[in-house]
Amino acid sequence: MNSSLLELGQSNGKKTRQILTRSAVWAIIGFALLGHQSFALVGADAFALHALIPVVAQGPCLNSLVMSPREKQQCMSWTRHETAGVAYDSVYSRLLIGGMDRKLHILDAQSGNHLKTLTLASPLLGTPVIDGEHLFLGQEDGFVSSYALEGLVPKWQVSTDGGIRSPIVAYADRVIVLTGAGTLYAFSREDGQILWTKKRPLPTKMILRTEARPLIYTDKSDGKAMLAIGHASGHLQVYELETGEVAFESFLGDSKFAFPDVVADVQEVGGLLAAASYNNGLMMIDPETRTQLFRIPETGLTRLLVQGNTIYAAGAGKVIAVDAKSGKILWRFIFDQGSPTRLKLVTGDRIAFGSERGGLFILDRNFGRPLQVLGSEAGYSGEFGLSTDFLYALSRSGTLYLYQSR
């Protein structure tokens, strides 16, 4: 059962707790039993399942039990799961979905009908990135490709030193890529020329898998564009976007314990930086003075999202909301164990995230109240796509769920 506990704010120095209403608890039990079905609390805006479409073909073979997939045999591992997520193309009303099947699938955004398929040299682990009239893909073999969005015509392709799982970031005239080897690349948007690279060697000890999205922000003191990103060593690192030169770095982890990794996407809050170390909690950093303004000792955080003056932080089995000015925890939502996808703003007052264990949760972002749970027996790992009327979610097994707002 998806047991959920809501913990709200502080009251006279003591935390107050609120268990879900009995009707909500029975609704969650129903969700657990019904698989693909969903529940919504009475009066809440909801999503209804519009279509269920197999997208990424499943094709396991005997060899996958004892060895890695072989390209010639197109053999896929029994333990594979889709992580690339869904990119919504608002210009041409399409969905772009990459997969472990070495294909880019293009679907109609309204009906889910297949429009076209592009064959790639290796799997897509990260969500395709659309920026203006450009499409950018990062592949498992380390290649980065640029396409013209209209017609999906190839423009350029370059190689890097590692597989690409982190989201590509396009900003002004450049494209920023983080590889699985920890290296940062800045490419020219127009022709793929390497503008700079920054080697960031990974620790030799066991680390968490990094798929952080680089943050581009403007320095308040001199107006320069800066790039902030975490590292498996437990450091927050800030670079000048123009040159790739290190501006500063700050150790956020606890050196006494394992996994100091800063794997969550760094967020900007009014010129300040919110970052999380897996073993040391959530911190607010002033990049101008390079000082820590507050720390919340909430360990295990892997996802961050900022909306207004609120920081939403998630890890396995939990989501918390934090006031960005005071550092006070506003509410806490607990769900069954499972790593969360990136948090996403659905409307002005709702956030959504998926769990690798099966649930897609819609929460009231002001109070943490669960408004809806949408089901997938396979769970979710990739990012959701979002249009005016639909939420698009790709399950770990490669099935696309089209949920229509109602």
Determine how β-strand 267-269 pairs with β-strand 47-54: unpaired
Task: From 303, 387, 395, select the one nearest 356 (Cα to Cα).
Answer: 395
What distance in Å separates the CA atoms of residue 53 and residue 391, rounded to the nearest whole number?
A: 14
Q: Tell me which H or E stretch contains 28.
A: helix 22-34
First to last CA, the chain: 26
CB 45 within 8 A of CB 405: yes
What distance in Å separates the CA atoms of residue 231 and residue 253, rounded to the nearest whole number?
A: 10
Task: From 52, 160, 97, select the one nearest 175 (Cα to Cα).
Answer: 160
What distance in Å separates the CA atoms of residue 382 and residue 105, rounded to the nearest whole number?
A: 15
For residue 19 the two structure tokens come to 């268990």
- Strand segments, DSSP code E, in 191-325 are 194-198, 215-218, 225-230, 235-240, 246-251, 267-269, 272-277, 281-286, 291-296, 301-307, 310-315, 318-323
What distance in Å separates the CA atoms of residue 143 and residue 163, rounded to the nearest whole number?
A: 8
Cα three-residue angle 346-352-354, rounded to 5 degrees: 145
Cα three-residue angle 316-322-328, rounded to 5 degrees: 120
For residue 297 the two structure tokens come to 């000792």
CB 107 within 8 A of CB 87: no
Q: Give residue 10's pLDDT.
A: 37
Residue at 41: amino acid letter: L
Q: Give residue 376's pLDDT.
A: 72
What distance in Å separates the CA atoms of residue 318 and residue 314, rounded to the nearest whole number?
A: 6
Please provide the size of the chain in residues: 406
Which sign does the torsion angle of CA 96, 101, 103, 108 carry?
Answer: negative
Q: Give residue 40's pLDDT.
A: 58
Residue at 293: amino acid letter: L
In DSSP terms, 341 is beta-bridged to none
What distance in Å separates the CA atoms of residue 320 and residue 325, rounded to the nearest whole number?
A: 15
Sheet arrangement for strand 301-307: 14-19, 5-11, 329-334, 318-323, 310-315, 301-307
Domains for the chain: give ranges and CATH numbers.
81-201 (2.40.128.630)
Q: pLDDT digit of tens for each residue in the chain (406 aa)?
A: 444 444 444 333 334 333 343 334 434 444 444 444 555 554 456 899 999 999 987 655 555 555 444 433 444 445 557 888 999 999 999 999 999 999 999 999 999 999 999 999 999 999 999 999 999 999 999 999 999 999 999 999 999 999 999 999 999 999 999 999 999 999 999 999 999 999 998 887 888 877 899 999 999 889 999 999 999 999 999 999 999 999 999 999 999 999 999 999 999 999 999 999 999 999 999 999 999 999 999 999 999 999 999 999 999 999 999 999 999 999 999 998 789 999 999 987 999 999 988 789 999 999 999 999 987 778 898 999 999 999 999 999 899 999 998 8
CB 167 within 8 A of CB 130: no
Q: Give residue 188's pLDDT.
A: 98
Percent helix, strand, coil in the chain, to 5, is 5, 50, 50
Residue at 122: amino acid letter: S
DSSP string, 64-91: GGTS---TTTT-B-TT------EEEETT
